[in-house]
Amino acid sequence: MAWEDMNVSGTGPFHVFAIGDWGGLDGTLHPIEGRPNLIAYPAGTKAGPSVFPRTRFNKPHTKLLCNHKQFVECYKTMGRVCDPGCGFVKGIDDQPQLLVASSFKSRAAKVDPVFILNVGDNFYWGGIEKTCGTPMDELSYVTHHQFDQVFENIYNGPGLDGKPWLSVLGNHDWGGRVFNNGWDQQIAYTWHSDRWRLPAAYWSQHVNFVDAGFTMDIYMVDSNSQDAEDPPLDPEHNICGSAHNPPGANCASQGGPTSVATCKAWFWALWRKNQEWLTEQLSKSTADWQLAVTHFPCGFEKNYWAGLHQQHGLDLLVTGHRHDQELWSPSRLGGLTCFVTGGGGGISSEATPNIHNKRDWYGEAQYGFYDLLISKTSILITSINWNGYEIMTRTVYPKA
């Protein structure tokens, strides 16, 4: 679907922020419907978001450096009892969402971004922690609680209040290892907020920079078929898995999958619809800029994305999912510039944030966000670390 046009006044250039994988666990939410409490360490039960400790591997992903149980021990003891392979950094790993949000707010107050690109995994571990099916004109108590504690009370203030968050769902928003969590409530929140914008699983936003004399088409794409597998496979990361989806799981009332057995086919059909829609929209676009925003990172379906750049003029791909910050060279995607902004801090980063141990880093940072400075002739992308430092830039020009 196409959301109503956004009109931006002023001569620019204009700042746009991009962030992803930012929403930690709600520390004071009491689970409903017999769900387990996923808070893994005592300090995580405070009000506001708490980071989820994930495993850490080496860069080639051939060696497990720190398993979840070991990492939880680091969090329980704030590093006093902690396997060295975990690379836990006290003061950073235990509060990354709050650190990134602080720098996000500080920079927003200075540069006044016109909107935010949000690449998903908005709420760990499994999105809105209730079963799908709440009427779309209603918000549940759980939805209110999670949005207030993890979003509204965290990303606010000068430069952010009232600014649209153009959003997609990540695999954890669908449920992570189930498909029947409250992903529909994230969509419904669009009509209960002056800034949250997620009206459908995939959708578009046209932006008129009225006084500056240029336009932009932004395509919000659902790529979560990448984590939709056959039911017996990968039980902890398979949206369609039989291990954790309850018997009779069914989101048909909200237009979602109807069963575990049909779930994989549903998500892959959704991806094919996304591809057809995006190709058609790009072929018709007359905007000066074309951007795509999706959850799964640079490198997945790489030939497809490179083809959209080469044949249909896609200028920039904005992604997340991998829990770090990676500003890719366009040579890696057939001329298309892409970045991964999965370091929002809702979950611990891919590698240690220790700047003196970058051996297993994929990109330039572990926690952070991006600031895009946009004009008619260029987009200057700046990678911002969790502490507000500018650590890398790249300039994008419109595809001829």
If you average pLDDT over every residue of the chain, what do you get? 98
Confidence of residue 320 (pLDDT cuts 50, 70, 90): very high
- What pLDDT was estimated at residue 400? 75
Residue 81 lies in a domain: no
240-290 confidence digits (pLDDT tens): 999 999 999 999 999 999 999 999 999 999 999 999 999 999 999 999 999
Q: Give per-residue pLDDT as tens, 64-102.
A: 999 999 999 999 999 999 999 999 999 999 999 999 999
Residue 93 is predicted with a pLDDT of: 98
211 located within any domain: yes
- Count Cβ atoms below 10 Å from residue 271 Cβ, excluding itself: 20
- 62 falls within a domain: no
pLDDT for 368 equals 99
- The answer to whether residue 58 sits within a structural domain is no
Is 82 a member of any domain? no
Total structural domains within the chain: 1
Percent of the chain's residues with pLDDT above 90: 98
Name the residue type at position 11.
Answer: T
- Residue 66 belongs to a domain: no
Q: What is the pTM of this model?
A: 0.98
Query: Sorting pLDDT into bands at 50, 70 and 90, what band is 399?
Result: confident
Determine the Cα–Cα distance for residues 294 and 279; give it in Å rounded to an integer: 15
Is 31 inside a domain boundary? yes
Average pLDDT of the segment spanning 359-379: 99
How far apart are alpha carbons 393 and 13 in whole angstroms? 16
Q: Give helix 260-284 / helix 302-312 axis angle, nearest 10°.
A: 20
Largest CA distance in the chain: 58
Which domain range does residue 141 map to? 6-51+95-396
HEC profile of the chain: CECCCEEECCCCCEEEEEECCCCCEECCCCCCCCCCCCCCCHHHHCCCEECECCCEECCCCCCEEECHHHHHHHHHHCCCCCCHHHCCCCCCCCCHHHHHHHHHHHHHHHHCCCEEEECCCCCCCCCCCCECCCCCCCCCHHHHHHHHHHHHCCCCCCCCCCCCEEECCCHHHHCCCCCCECHHHHHHHHHHCCCEECCCCCEEEEEEECCCCEEEEEEEECCHHHHCCCCCCCCCCCCCCCCCCCCCCCCHHHCCCCCHHHHHHHHHHHHHHHHHHHHHHHHHCCCCEEEEEECCCCCCCHHHHHHHHHHHCCCEEEECCCCCEEECCHHHHCCCEEEEECCCCCECCCCCCCCCCCCCCCCCECCEEEEEEECCCCEEEEEEECCCCEEEEEEECCCC
Asked if the structure places residue 301 within a domain, the reply is yes
CATH number at residue 22: 3.60.21.10
